[in-house]
Amino acid sequence: MLRRFDRCRLRGSLRHAGLVAAVTVTGALGLAGTASAEMGGSWTSGTPLPAATGFAASATLTNGDVLVAGGFGADGNPAGTTALYDPSTDGWTTGPALTPARADAAAVTLANGDVLIAGGVTGTTDLTGLSSGEVYDPSTGTMTAVSNDMSSVRASPVAVLLSNGDVLIAGGTDGSEASETADLYDPTTNAFMPVNSLMSAGRDYPAAALLSDGDVLVAGGAVGTDQDDAGADVFDPQTETFTQVSNDMSVARAGEGMAALSDGDAIVFGGIDGDSTTATSDVYDPGTNRFVPGPAMPVATGLFGSATLTDGNVLVAGGVVQDAGTQSLTAASEEYDPVTNSWTAVGALPDAVDADIVAALPNDQALEAGGGDATSGGGAVTSTDSTAIFTVAAGTGVGGTVGVGPTGGSGDTPPPTTTAGTGGLTTQFTVLPDTPPTIRLTGLKTRLTRAALLRGLRFSVKPSKAASLQIRLVTKGGHAASRGAALATRSYRLSAAGHKVTLVPNRRRVTRHPGRIELIVVATDRSGARRTVTRTVTIRG
């Protein structure tokens, strides 16, 4: 159930930023408790944020640092602060100020390494929705305003980096109704462009993910006061149009999570359905354009932080638990394994929070930061500066210590041999010293016509071991201003079995760029060891 601009609408009438409602704090399974270590891993308290924040925007930079931007501060108002987390030191530094201060914005890392921050709300006594955006440049540590505004005010939208380098910003609310519109951001022009296609419903607090075919799934969200949606739409970047998914999810949900899976599907999980949170999940199959029910989560929760870890599992932390209007914050943490298609309760957070951020770190670790807690103030929910680090249990993932080397991976130290027992069966896991994964590219044509390129650059990629892949297609040669401009980008988490890839470039940039492009494939394994392969493709005609 959502309200418009009433200090950010989720949690029913209970909300953030100076909220006066009292809540119950619960542990990992809805029971009063403290931090604990369960099957999958455990949380330890981290270095506090420089300033308390909840409903902040966040993005992981190409160097592995995490940017946390804006949110509601300790005074209950949208903040203009930013902070940068360095996982190698568990330390924070203060970043450049946002202009204006904003909370409930969306953030996404661009193909060139910059970060777009768009939409949100600003103000003090009366909140005002924003249609503006700004771009953080890590190389200079500065913010630059986007040259124009989006076509609509967007508080609580979703933002997804497309394969062609543009960003889709969809949904949100203008304060009076949920938006069914969307905009595209073009980093080469630093400008927003309206999408001339509407979603099937307005979607405030939806979830979204980039699918393996380059389309974007946008699902759920609030469509009106006290009304959440079970529908979804798929955005096609080539035609810049939305198509409604042919069936609904098993329940309506807003403030839910979504993750793209390595097999091409996407899972949508949790969220608020009317006046109660849900433990259900749905799996979307792009081949049939349909949802099928997925496995239930251990805890029915919404408004949580979530991230896909380097091993491909999906981690959920914190959130609000609501049943017929009775609400509590939870310290629960749960993990989805796409191989077994199942959820498992893992170690609880040190504190119960909601509206927090979760970001994946190397070695299957994760950062949880900020949000709202009720540990002080007589049960009132206020923003927090607390953080926590998730580490997988011995034998359930790759351990070790991540250092910082000249190439982002050469400082790694191998973990020791560990032993894990299950039901009396002991398995010995021997982890060899880390070496960067090798990359094998096959089927790549290095000479193409422009028309063939626009239909997609096709090839197969196979790493020597499980790794996350960042694949980019950029311009090469020509004017210095256009050199290195992103034409397409794609991310995968692969086993050594590999994957077939189709990169469809940005049509506008292909028509004006010179006759050579460069394919860049970066493979990073769980330890952070990295290998880069480049290929030049010549364009004819």
Q: What is the pTM of this model?
A: 0.75
Beta strand spans in 36-113 (E): 41-45, 57-60, 66-69, 82-86, 91-94, 106-109
Cα 247 from Cα 444, distance rounded (Å)? 37
Vertex 391 angle, CA 389 and 392, to 5°: 155
What does the pLDDT look like over 87-136, one tens digit per residue? 999 999 999 999 999 999 999 999 889 999 999 999 987 899 999 999 99
Quote the pLDDT of residue 402.
Answer: 27
What count of residues does the chain have? 541
Give the type of residue at 402: V
Peptide bond into 100 cis (omega under 30): yes
What residues of the chain score a pLDDT lower than 50? 1-39, 376-379, 397-433, 479-482
Backbone φ, ψ for residue 440 (5° rounding):
-115, 120
Sorted by where each starts, the structural domains of the chain and their CATH numbers stand as: 24-392 (2.120.10.80), 439-540 (2.60.40.2550)
Quote the pLDDT of residue 455.
Answer: 80
Quote the pLDDT of residue 511.
Answer: 64
Alpha-carbon distance values, 31 to 22, 305, 331, 332 (Å): 17, 20, 10, 10
Query: What CA dihedral angle connects 19, 103, 297 and 12, to 10 degrees?
Result: 40
- Beta-carbon neighbour count of residue 481 at 10 Å? 8
Say which DSSP state 190 is in. T
Quote the pLDDT of residue 380.
Answer: 59
Quote the pLDDT of residue 394.
Answer: 64
- Of 55, 53, 52, the closest CA to residue 10 belongs to 55
Cα 316 from Cα 278, distance rounded (Å)? 14
Peptide bond into 194 cis (omega under 30): no
What does the pLDDT look like over 338-348, one tens digit per residue? 989 999 999 99
H-helix or E-strand containing 182?
strand 182-186
Quote the pLDDT of residue 198.
Answer: 96
Quote the pLDDT of residue 362.
Answer: 80
Quote the pLDDT of residue 28.
Answer: 40
Vertex 359 angle, CA 434 and 105, to 5°: 150
